[in-house]
Structure 1
């Protein structure tokens, strides 16, 4: 009985249960695996060159065998093991920069030139619009009834869009000075709005302890690219929470959560009655929808993006919350300012 060398193993399944299988065309000894039926000639130099040849795709992390490209996305690729018994699926991120979310719009030059009404009236109109569930027509009516000032609803709409970059600059400057890494959980969710009769998706991130809206992203698609944009910007601006990031069971959150928050747990909520749930962000969605529905949608993507950014500024910095003992989320997050300073911020804007 011929003895098979101990260093000869099957290159496919790494089994040593082999038997001799004659010679190949070049006269080298061949072997065949009794388990997977693989034939090979380890002494043949051409076989060694093939075995050392680098594979096109990464090896399977479960069994070490070859893989194939299952799905190719913008920011990552999904591979699957070629062995049907293993059938392991894994994701590999691509080394490319993630695009910024829609909340990072470019600020524009601002001046009071051409404004026919005093700043006090403008700020009153903005407070009526963002702190109440009012339309621009109702705000114009309120200004006339309370302040005896006639303003067109079109003018109020222009004020909302015109002041959005200023409020964004104030928010970015204040939020860059706080530390939210001590928070236990960050929540992520998405909801839909109407822009020119079409569905768009508003992606939101919120801190559980302070109720502070960390960031948002407005997108026409509900896909992984939008989730990557939101989570990557939250990591860049605020770091990561101590324990967990929480989302629903939508698949788009899986890869960006593991990529940008590798040291914390990603909890995917299954039911509203779970001990750990996404109700904090769902409550914000309810407030936003109550404010949004009287508007009956937006006319353009740019105006919707600016109006939502200003609404989030009023939510974070201006409007006090009863669940936070009459404080704003920004004050709970560590930004100290008095009532006079809060009004002064509006005047500076």
Structure 2
């Protein structure tokens, strides 16, 4: 009996030793808490934004001035080309950079199409003489980028150099399985350096135009108080236009149609928007950005928000039917306009892992706004960045839930105009009228003229009046 026990004890010790060795192997080679997805994997490179390329610009030159400078420097005239080959340059050929005539241009490829200007040393094709004003150079290998794709708002330029360090490093990161998949479906991987050149100038778009459908505040059948009641039921309490009309009839004895309620909402949105957009919010350096969606005639419409994570005010908002970089830039522009002096690198701009925010940052950097975008990825704090800035991301997620709750009763909008009206009134209510626990159950932005009024319909009327005064001041300025 004792022999069997000693054998079992020895075998148990052997098993424990093997388990210990396996644990050491797992700890060294297999991460126990791997992230949900690895943003550095070549499979997810399409979700990343590469750094800016080197941009070379070409200026228009004058061949006459260059010939004069050559004569002053060398003491003699630059001789025209003496063609000796079988492919003379056509008399109507002109250098696209310096406008030198054909007698200063020679065939550089034996009739295969490439020409060269003797004055400015430009190589160009006789079949395609348009001169690029800018040339994008890969920052990793110095190779000129090739234009590969033409999208709605941008061109995609790609470095096709097989010896580029960026490409070689990306290729080296592929596992054997990924390498086999890459050979079969190369479009699934992003291994080459790419740059997106935006063709639309989103920094020259009017952010503060009046919404469509706005009418004057000339009340024929009702008073301004009835309009305040309509806004209180429709915006504050989240009732639909039909339920708002029913509430006014059953509670206040006011017979009004839901169409008139909708017209009041459109007019109010047009009136309060200038005040909301031009108010001095005195924002902090912590901004948070995210996007949610509504439905217009069954189609997704994306709502973009940028808010002050400390003071909780909505600083930028846009609605768009595309989830691309354009509306993202417009929303960020609206938020940055609230700064009297842009904070630069001290700005903490927090967003999720969506590529549009990094692309927008790249365009802002090109236009003199030097700041960084911090991306909080995933739902768990699996990295130091998520641990530090998760609270900022949760604040705007809470805003999205509040907005979705106000939109839910509509079951979707019947027109883009209705969606934009709801968005403008929601931002006005959220920033100036809605009670918040953060502000000790007062509004986020306290206005003395509004605080003196006790009823919510009166507050809406006062907000519209203040916005009217602002519009008149801007018109007279």
**Same fold? TM cut 0.5:** yes
5 Å-filtered alignment, 1:204-215, equals: 204-215=305-316
Distance 2:408 2:211 in 1: 27
Name the structure 2 match of 1:251: 355
| Segment drifting more, 74-83 vs 129-138 | 74-83
Identify if the C-alpha distance between structure 1 residues 111 and 96 changes in structure 2 by more than 3 Å, giving closer, same or farther: closer
Name the structure 1 match of 2:282: 179
Distance 1:189 1:309 in 2: 17
Identify if the C-alpha distance between structure 1 residues 120 and 338 changes in structure 2 by more than 3 Å, giving closer, same or farther: closer
Kindly tell me the number of residue pairs found equivalent between the two proteins: 298
Question: Among 248, 272, 275, which residue is 2:379 paired with?
Answer: 272
5 Å-filtered alignment, 1:106-121, equals: 106=211, 110-121=215-226
Name the structure 1 match of 2:27: none
Distance 1:336 1:219 in 2: 35
Classify the secondary structure of the residue corresponding to 2:294.
strand
Q: Is the 8 A contact 1:103 1:305 kept in 2?
A: no
Identify if the C-alpha distance between structure 1 residues 310 and 285 changes in structure 2 by more than 3 Å, giving closer, same or farther: same
Classify the secondary structure of the residue corresponding to 1:206.
strand
Q: Is the 8 A contact 1:101 1:229 kept in 2?
A: no
5 Å-filtered alignment, 1:306-345, equals: 306-331=421-446, 339-340=451-452, 343=459, 345=462
Q: Is the 8 A contact 2:351 2:374 kept in 1?
A: yes
1:148 and 2:253 matched: yes
Name the structure 1 match of 2:300: 199
Distance 2:215 2:259 in 1: 19
Identify if the C-alpha distance between structure 1 residues 233 and 338 changes in structure 2 by more than 3 Å, giving closer, same or farther: closer
Q: Is the 8 A contact 2:449 2:462 kept in 1?
A: no
Higher helix share: 2
Identify if the C-alpha distance between structure 1 residues 253 and 111 changes in structure 2 by more than 3 Å, giving closer, same or farther: same
Name the structure 2 match of 1:133: 238
Which of 1 and 2 has greater Rg? Answer: 2
Q: Is the 8 A contact 2:238 2:409 kept in 1?
A: yes
Deviation at 1:280, TM superposition (A): 1.2
Name the structure 2 match of 1:287: 402
Q: Is the 8 A contact 1:188 1:245 kept in 2?
A: yes
Name the structure 2 match of 1:38: none
Identify if the C-alpha distance between structure 1 residues 70 and 235 changes in structure 2 by more than 3 Å, giving closer, same or farther: farther
Deviation at 1:216, TM superposition (A): 1.4
Identify if the C-alpha distance between structure 1 residues 302 and 106 changes in structure 2 by more than 3 Å, giving closer, same or farther: closer
Identify if the C-alpha distance between structure 1 residues 139 and 69 changes in structure 2 by more than 3 Å, giving closer, same or farther: same
Q: Is the 8 A contact 2:146 2:159 kept in 1?
A: yes
Coordinate RMSD, CA, aligned: 3.3
Deviation at 1:143, TM superposition (A): 2.1
Distance 2:206 2:323 in 1: 13
Any idea what the Cα deviations from partners look like across 1:92-123, whole Å, max 9, x if unmatched? 65585316377643588753334312211210
Identify if the C-alpha distance between structure 1 residues 170 and 115 changes in structure 2 by more than 3 Å, giving closer, same or farther: farther
Unaligned runs of 5+ in 2: 1-107, 110-115, 125-131, 168-191, 381-385, 469-477
Name the structure 1 match of 2:183: none
Q: Is the 8 A contact 1:247 1:267 kept in 2?
A: yes
Q: Is the 8 A contact 2:214 2:266 kept in 1?
A: no
| Segment drifting more, 148-157 vs 200-209 | 148-157
Distance 1:146 1:126 in 2: 15
Question: Among 80, 84, 91, which residue is 2:158 paired with?
Answer: 80
Distance 2:401 2:255 in 1: 32
Classify the secondary structure of the residue corresponding to 1:84.
coil
Higher strand share: 1
Any idea what the Cα deviations from partners look like across 1:67-101, whole Å, max 9, x if unmatched? 22244456554433232232352536558531637
Q: Is the 8 A contact 2:302 2:321 kept in 1?
A: yes
Unaligned runs of 5+ in 1: 1-45
Superposition TM-score, scaled by structure 1 size? 0.73
Superposition TM-score, scaled by structure 2 size? 0.55
| Segment drifting more, 183-192 vs 255-264 | 255-264
| Segment drifting more, 142-151 vs 315-324 | 142-151
